[in-house]
Chains A and B, each alone.
Chain A
C-alpha cells in the first residue's frame, strides 16, 4: 500500500520535474532556434568553468536572474490577486499532465506500474477542464495590476482563450468518435491498430482536419504567435507589464509548459502517443508477415517512452518555428478566425466524421 503511494509520488515528482525543466530548456531552445532561423548565433556567453555548452547555461542564468530581482507590487494594485495570478497561471499547466500517458506499463517483478499518473476514464474532459482554468491567471493579472495596458491585455487574452477553447473541444470529438473512449490510455492503445494491414491507426490518419484545427486552436489558447497580441511585446505591451522577477518567470514558465502540454496532447491524440509503429509489448511485429523481432520488456518500455518524448520535442520544435515565421494577428482578426471560421470547420468535421463512421459500420 505504501509502496503504491511511493510509486505514485515518484511518478508525480518525475513528471513535474521533467515538465519544469523542459519548460526551462525550451527558453533556451527558443533562443537558439530563433537564432538559427534568423541567421545569427544566439546565446553563447554564459559559462561555467569556462565551458559554454552551446548557451545552455543561459537558462540557468535566467533563472538565477529572475529570482534575484526585486519583487514589487505596484501602488494601487490588489495585493492578493496580484500575487495569486501567476500561481493561477502556472498551476493548471503543471497539473494537466496528470492524465497524459507517457508510456504503456512498466512491469517490475509482479508489480504493474502504468506510466501515467492518473488513468482517468474522463481523461480528455479533465484535461480541458483544467486547461480552462488557465484563463483565471491571465484575467487576474490584467485586472489586479491597476494599469490601463494590463487591463486591455488581460481582457483580450481571456476572450481569446475562451473563444478558442470551444474549437479545441469540438475538434477532438471526431477523435473520440473513432476511438470510442475519452480515456487517454485507451485512445493511445487503439492507435496501435493497423488499417489495411500496415498503416497505424493514428489520429492524423483518420482525422487530419481535426489535427490542424486542434493545433491552431491550441496555439491560440496558449497565446503563442501568431496569436500573441495580448502579450504583444511590441504593441500594447501586455497583461503582465507590472510583474517582475519570479512572478514574471512563472507566467513565462506557464507558457512554455503549456507548449509542452500542447505537444503532448497532439502526440497523444494524433500521433499515437507512446506508440511506435509495429511495436507491441513483446517486440516488433512487422506487417505483411515480415516477421517478429523479440525485445526485452525494459527495452520496449524505453522505446515507448523515448518515442513519446521524441514526438513531444518535435511538436515543441514546430510551435517554436511557427513563432518566428509568422507575424501576429490583430485582435478582431483573431476573434473572427476563432468564431467564424474555425468553429464552423470543427462542426463540419464533426458531422462528416459522424456520417462516415455510420456508413462504415
Chain B
C-alpha cells in the first residue's frame, strides 16, 4: 500500500509554486495520488492567480471550493480551526491540484477568488453560508442555500444537528430588487417579475427574479436552496454505507452515478480497486443512468416548448430502462446499488436479452423524436442562437459536462481522468460549436448514442468473477462464516456497528455525471463516519452562469435555456 508521503517526483505545480512563492508554501505532498499544497492565507489570491497564469500550469478551472471545520478532529481538534480547500484543474495540461489554506476561528476571513475565477462566486457564498467564513471583495456575499433569516452556520461542528429554526413569511430575499430600485431611483421603466418557485417549467424548484424591459431580460437573480436537505451534515453522523442511500437523492434522475462516485471516493481512501466484473457493472449502470438523465432532460425541455408528444415518447423509453434498473437493484430511483468495495449484487439472469430489447426500443424512440424535433423549423428557431455562452466564460464559471462541451471545449472526466474501466472502452465525446441551446440538445442526443455503445461493449467484455472485493475492512463476511466462526461474527459486528473505517486522510474523486463533473471530497478521521463529505455538484456551477446566458434574451428563452442546463434540484441544493 503506498504511504501517504511517498513522493517520488515532485509535481510541476509544486516546483513552480515554490520557485515563485517560497515562503508562502507551507506543505506539499501527494495524498492518495492527489497533489496537495497548503499555502499561507495571506498569499491565497496571489497563489491562485499564479497558478492560473503560469504557462506550465494554466489552472484555468476552479473545480470546487469548500471548507472543512477541524474543531473536533481527533481529540481537541486542530488549530487553526478552518481549512479552505480549492480543487483546481488545468484543461491544457490535464492536471489537478488541491490547494488548501488555514483560516483561524478568531478572524474567519479570506480573500475572494472571484477576481481570478468568476466561478468562485457561488462556491464562496456556500462556504459563507455553511461555515461563516467571509470572503473579502466578493461582490455579493449572501446566503445561498439557506433562507434569509437563518441564524448560525450549520456545517460548523458546534452547530447541533437537530436544532430547529422557524421559517416565516419574511424569508424572501429582497436584495436584488432593493439594489435595483436604489440604483434606478424610484422611477424605473423596467418590470420585475418572479419566475418560480411555483412554476410549471421550473423543474426542481428554483426561484428567479427577472428585470424586464418589455420582453428582454436586462438582469436577473437566481435563488436556490428550496430542496436543501443537509446531505453534507447528515453524512457526518452516518456510517459510510449509510450515506449511500443519501447519494441516490442527489441527482435523482441518474442515481447510480452518484452511488458509484461516492464509493469510489471511499475506496480511494483505502487505496483499493474493486474486482474487474464489478468495475464493468459499475460502468454499465452509470451509462444507463446517463441515458435516463439525458432522456428526461430532452423530454422535459421539449414539453416546455410545447412539443408534448416528445415527452411521452422519451418517458416510455426511460420507463423501460428503469425496469432494467429495477431488475438489477430492486428500485428505479432509490437504487443504493454500490457498496464500498463492490456492488450490492450481480446482474440478474437474462439481463443481456432484456437489455438488448430495451436498446431496440430506445433506438426507435430516438428516431421518432429526431424526426419530430430536428426537422422542425419551430424547434430550431426556439433553440438556435438562444442561451449562448462563450467557451472562455464557460470555463471561468466552472462549467463542465454537456453544457461545456456544447461550446466546443473537449472535457470529459471519463477521457481525461479515466476511472473504472473507461480507458478500455471505445467511445466518442460529442462537441458542439456555438454554445447555444440547440447544440446542447444535439450533444445530449449524441451522448445517449455513445452511452448505448458503452453499454453494449460492457456487456460484451464483462468477465466473470466476484462483484465484491474480498477485504475484511469493507466487505461483510459470508453468512456461513458469520454464523460459524468467531472472527466472522466479530468482523460483521464491527462493520455494522462501527462502520467501515477508512484510514485518516482525504480524497477527491471526480466522475462524469450527466451534467458534468460530479466530485466527492471525503475527509476521514479514521472512524466509521466521514469527518467531512463534500459533493461538488455539476449543476451548481451551471446555475451560477444561468443569468449570464439569459441576459439580453427574451423571457420565452428562459424556459428553453433553463431546460437545456438540466438543473436537478436534488444535486444543486443537496
Contacts and interface: CB of A to CB of B under 8 A. Distances in A.
Direct contact of A and B (CB under 8 A): yes
Interface of A: 34, 37-40, 148-149, 152, 225-226, 228-229, 232-237, 324-333
B436 to A, nearest CB: 14
Interface in B240-269: none
A173 B281 CA distance: 68
A226 B307 CA distance: 9
A148 B200 contact: no
Chain B interface size, as a band, is: 20 to 34
B15 interface: no
Contact of B191 (A38, A148, A228, A332): A148
18 contacts: A38-B312, A38-B313, A226-B306, A226-B378, A229-B556, A232-B306, A234-B200, A235-B201, A235-B555, A235-B558, A236-B555, A325-B307, A327-B373, A327-B378, A327-B382, A329-B378, A329-B381, A333-B378
A40 B309 CA distance: 10
Interface in B542-574: 554-559
A228 B556 contact: no
B559 A235 contact: yes
Contacts of A228: 306
B554 A332 contact: yes
Q: Is the interface of A mostly helix, strand, loop or mixed?
A: loop
Contacts of A330: 381-382, 554, 556-557
A233 B559 CA distance: 12
Contacts of A332: 215, 554
B364 to A, nearest CB: 11
Most chain B beta carbons < 10 A, residue from A152, A233, A235: A235
Contacts of B372: 325
Contacts of A331: 215, 554, 556
A226 B379 CA distance: 10
Given A325-B372, A328-B378, A39 B303 contact: no
A327 B554 contact: no
A232 B559 CA distance: 11
Nearest to A34: B308
Those 3 A-B pairs whose CB atoms lie nearest each other, nearest first: A328-B306, A38-B312, A327-B307
B193 A148 contact: yes
B215 A324 contact: no
Interface of B: 191, 193, 199-201, 215, 302-309, 311-313, 316, 372-373, 376, 378-379, 381-382, 554-559
Q: Is the interface of B mostly helix, strand, loop or mixed?
A: helix
A237 B199 contact: yes
A327 B312 contact: no
Nearest to A228: B306
Nearest to A40: B312
Most chain B beta carbons < 10 A, residue from A34, A225, A232, A326: A326
Nearest to B368: A39
B562 to A, nearest CB: 11
B376 to A, nearest CB: 7
B204 to A, nearest CB: 14
A234 B379 CA distance: 15
B200 A233 contact: yes
Given A327-B378, A330-B381, 6 more contacts: A39-B312, A148-B191, A226-B306, A234-B303, A326-B376, A332-B215
A39 B307 CA distance: 14
Contacts of A237: 199-200
B306 A327 contact: yes
Contacts of B201: 234-235
A255 to B, nearest CB: 15
A6 B312 CA distance: 51
Contacts of A234: 200-201, 303-304, 306, 559
B381 A39 contact: no
Contact of A149 (B193, B554, B557): B193
Contacts of B559: 234-235
A152 B308 CA distance: 24
B381 A324 contact: no
A278 B230 CA distance: 76
A331 B378 CA distance: 12
Contacts of A333: 378, 381-382
A324 B309 contact: yes
A333 B377 CA distance: 11
Contacts of A236: 555-556
